[in-house]
Structure 1
């Protein structure tokens, strides 16, 4: 029996001819609706241009700096002798570069900077008051019974001195700066060049520049204080060890002198053993004392010669070229998006009419 191909008249698969016919139909539809689509696109392009034109320009103040390779804490430890294990290492396993990047965006640095006075458009006030005005937060807080009319006073520059209303406002402001979705403060570290990039992005040029400077100053001072505090603690530890060694050494020397006086130069074998032990212990403590004294002088020298571990290579100054949305880009996006949307709407309308 011959095998014959059975053709299903209900087969929904499109033939090549039908596909070509549908493409020709779409092209014909596009030609018929060309002027409507053009109007759609022009309107969309106009909207895109208006959005770009009316967008608020952003001023980005940028400070770039390096970490100096010579410093008090870590480089000193390699020059110390036997007391290195007694005073501890350079403080943890975290990289100093990663640590600095984390400190840059910490509440300690940013929060302290908010309570510093800066000039913005000729007015001297706390940075936090300027930022509230720039971000137009007072308008948002008008209906808030707690935040309405909040003002930070220049004689209250610590979080402990704030009242409930001020603390609530402070938390909102600090979240704008260091929260998960914060964009006002930017911090970048380039591993290839070793350069840190600290930026402040606001719509007020004066505030961006002045607040950027305050942030960097707070960071620099914090790093310096950390270095001096660490070195000062090391000096205290070594000085304490030095006193302990000196006390022990004096005790051994006194015991050795009493042992010699007691025997009057006539030493029995048992006395010789005791005296030898005392002499060995005296020698060991003398060496330890000398080493501790040397290390103490080394730490004192380093503590006196510590400098600020950051070196600025770029600072912000006026005028800053503001960044704004590209008019050409937004016009083109609006033109294309509106044209595609208009084509889809007109095609759906035609399809519904054909069904009816």
Structure 2
């Protein structure tokens, strides 16, 4: 029984070797076709290497502020909260880490960046207009009267855009997100985020990378420090108001003292306005002293919340250049077409055997 199983295994192994040799001989007999198509593929790869424009990569890295670095200001914030004042200092967690990286790729931030002005050949245009020029879209729009007069003015009001403008911005956003823009943390243990922008135009890569970082940074700072800034403005208005009241009360005391100068000591009623003004001065002085303290605490909190993004590296010309080389084009094209030819010939022979 065991001897028969060994014989069957030997037979199956021999058949396998014969089959492999048969297939190999078949493909070898078709070497002219395989070689011809591989040469065609290598030629196409070489042509593609000439047609393919080089790409430029702009890279910017920045670090996020540590949210736990509150330090000794916690006691000051606790003192302020005891007086019913919220000085902020706890917002902004939605922008931390990976959330902020995704925020860079949001459509609103990318579109606002595209509408930022840049200087190109002595003219001020928007980044979206620069993108359209780089891709020669206007040549294809010449036959369409609705597109020939289409303009994207720098810092234009986004809400007034037409449906066509919205569609164009949407296409550009998808193109940038799929092939040009990369945002992420290279190491999850380190709070350093990098932005990579790849395009065929060196200046566009640099301008867009810097403008996107600026747009997100401004929005980030305004949003995270909004509560602290509003509280500081309220405290400053209250401080100015109490200071005016205190000045008015001090003036009132002086006027009341002038009116009671050399007054008969028996006429105490005439001294009542002066006494009331003295009370106003004391009360306003106490209130003003406390408001000044709270205003200074609010300023400290606002300064703490403001430096949210620390730029480490900026893109510097010349940018990193990547070109699809001739040797790579020949190798990739020849291998791809040769492999596809072998695959197709194998399928044809297999189908013939089945039929």
Range class of TM-score, shorter chain: 0.5 to 0.7
Q: How does 1:159-178 map to 2 (within 5 A)?
A: 159-163=158-162, 165-178=164-177
CA distance in 1, matches of 2:237, 2:81: 14
- Cα distance in 2 for partners of 1:218, 1:305 equals 20
| Equivalences, count | 300
Tell me if the contact between 1:73 and 1:90 (Cα under 8 Å) persists in the aligned partners: no
Seen in structure 2, the aligned counterparts of structure 1 residues 54 and 355 have a Cα distance that, compared at 3 Å, is same
| Superposed displacement of residue 128, structure 1 | 1.6
Please state if 1:201 is matched with 2:198.
Answer: yes
Residue number in structure 2 paired with 1:221 = 218
* Matches of 1:302 and 1:350, distance apart in 2: 77
1:234 correspondence with 2:226: no
Which deviates the most, 312-321 or 338-347? 338-347
Q: How many angstroms apart in 1 are the aligned matches of 2:328 and 2:57?
A: 21
Name the residue aligned to 2:298: 299
1:34 aligns with 2:21: no
2: distance between equivalents of 1:64 and 1:102? 15
User: Is 1:114 paired with 2:114?
Assistant: yes
Would the alpha carbon gap of residues 82 and 20 (structure 1) be closer, same or farther in structure 2, given more than 3 Å must change? same
More off after superposition, 65-74 vs 298-307 = 65-74
Q: Who is 2:56 aligned against? A: 59
Q: CA deviation at 1:330?
A: 4.3
Q: Give the root-mean-square deviation of aligned CA atoms.
A: 4.2
Distance in 1 (alpha carbons) for counterparts of 2:107 and 2:80: 36
- Give the Cα separation in 1 of the matches to 2:129 and 2:192: 31
Deviation of the 1:38 alpha carbon: 2.5
Give the TM-score normalised by the residue count of structure 1: 0.66
- Alpha-carbon shift at residue 198 of structure 1 (Å): 1.6
Q: Check whether the contact 2:64–2:310 (CA below 8 A) recurs between aligned residues.
A: yes
Pick closer, same or farther for the CA change 1:147–1:62 going to 2, 3 Å. Answer: same
Deviation at 1:78, TM superposition (A): 5.8
**1:171-320 aligned within 5 A:** 171-178=170-177, 182-190=178-186, 191-235=188-232, 294-303=293-302, 307-320=306-319
Q: Distance in 1 between matches of 2:299 and 2:106?
A: 31
The DSSP-based 3-state class of the residue aligned with 1:91 is coil
Unaligned runs of 5+ in 1: 4-13, 243-287
Tell me by how many angstroms 1:197 deviates.
Answer: 0.9
Q: Contact 2:58/2:320 (CA < 8 Å) preserved in 1? A: no
Report if aligned partners of 1:71, 1:306 keep a CA contact under 8 Å in 2.
no
Contact 1:138 1:149 in 2 (8 A): no
Please give the TM-score of this superposition, normalised by the length of structure 2: 0.66
Separation in 1 of the partners of 2:123 and 2:292? 55
Deviation at 1:168, TM superposition (A): 4.3
Structure 2 partner of 1:46: 43
1:94 lines up with 2:91 in the alignment: no
CA-CA distance at 1:304 after TM superposition: 5.6
SS at match of 1:193: coil
Distance 2:29 2:129 in 1: 60
Instruction: Say if 1:17 and 1:136 are closer, same or farther in 2 by CA, change over 3 A.
Output: same
Distance 2:31 2:317 in 1: 50
Give the 3 Å change call, closer, same or farther, for CA 28–332 of structure 1 in structure 2: same
* Maintained 8 Å contact 1:71/1:309: no
